[in-house]
Amino acid sequence: MTPTTAAPAAPAVDRYVPAPPAHLLDIDAVTGVHAAATRNIPGTLPFFATHFPRQPILPGVMLLGTAEEVAALACPPTAGGWRLRSAVRARWKHPVLPGDQVRVRAEVTGAGDDAVQFKVAITVKDQLVADVRKLILVPRAPFTAAVHPEEDR
């Protein structure tokens, strides 16, 4: 009999580091400092058909969602990733139209174990279209397998 060696155990993964969303381009992120990325706004997005059909504009909540995604790139890895807790003093200055290319820059203005705070600027062709004075992200609960008591029967 020949001796065998066991393969080394895979290291435990205790931090969730998601890949950046595919729709974000030209990503520049430094954990704990800032993050910036570009997003194309194609005219084929389904909500343009109903969000002012004759003069379609990107809903502000979509800009806020993109700001959340970009800001999360500057957050440290956690077991479940990061989610939006609040956005304070969000201002929409100009509409974002189909075909625009949006640049989002999020600068860390405060951080702790339970939250990271950002100041966000959103531009199109170097013109400020929206900003958020205080965007706060908090850690998501770690991903766990769902337990259903009915399955144990």
Residue-by-residue DSSP string for 58-93: --HHHHHHHHHHHHHTTSPPBSS-EEEEEEEEEEE-
Catalytic residue among 23, 34, 51, 148: 51
94 is catalytic: no
Indicate if the alpha-carbon torsion angle 42, 44, 47, 53 is positive or negative: positive
- CA distances to 47, 63, 114 from 59, rounded to whole Å, are 8, 7, 29
At residue 149, the 3 state secondary structure works out as: helix
Q: What is the set of active-site residues? A: 51
